[in-house]
Structure 1
C-alpha cells in the first residue's frame, strides 16, 4: 500500500448492532478505533457507532 492510503471501515450501532455506515479511514494516521455519534434508522435516534474490525 502507498503512504497515506485509506481503508474502507464499517460502523456498527452499539445499541442494535446494525451496520449502518461505511467510511474511509487513513490507516497510517489513525491506529485506534473510530467512535462517532450518528443517526440509526432502526433505533430512530442518535446513537454511538463504533468501527468494526
Structure 2
C-alpha cells in the first residue's frame, strides 16, 4: 500500500531547556509532547511553550525529527 500525502502529520516536541542545560532532577528525563500539525500551513519547525516537569516551569518545546 502506498503512503498517503495527508496534510496532518504527527510531530514530537522536546524541551529546549533540558537539552541545553541538562536535566536537574534525578529520574525524570527529558520532557516530550506528541501533537499534530498541518504541513501546508506550518512548513517550518513548530515551537510551543509547554510545561516541563524536569525544569519545573514553562519552557519552549521544539519539534524534533522522528
What TM-score, normalized to structure 2? 0.68
The CA RMSD measured in Å over matched residues stands at 1.3
Contact 2:31–2:52 (Cα < 8 Å) also in 1 = no
1:41 to 50, 53, 56: 53
What TM-score, normalized to structure 1? 0.81
Contact 1:7–1:27 (Cα < 8 Å) also in 2 = yes
Contact 2:31–2:54 (Cα < 8 Å) also in 1 = no
What's 2:14 paired with?
12
Query: How many residues matched?
Result: 51
Q: Which runs of 5+ in 2 are unaligned?
A: 20-29
Which of the two has higher C-alpha Rg? Answer: 2
Q: Which runs of 5+ in 1 are unaligned?
A: none
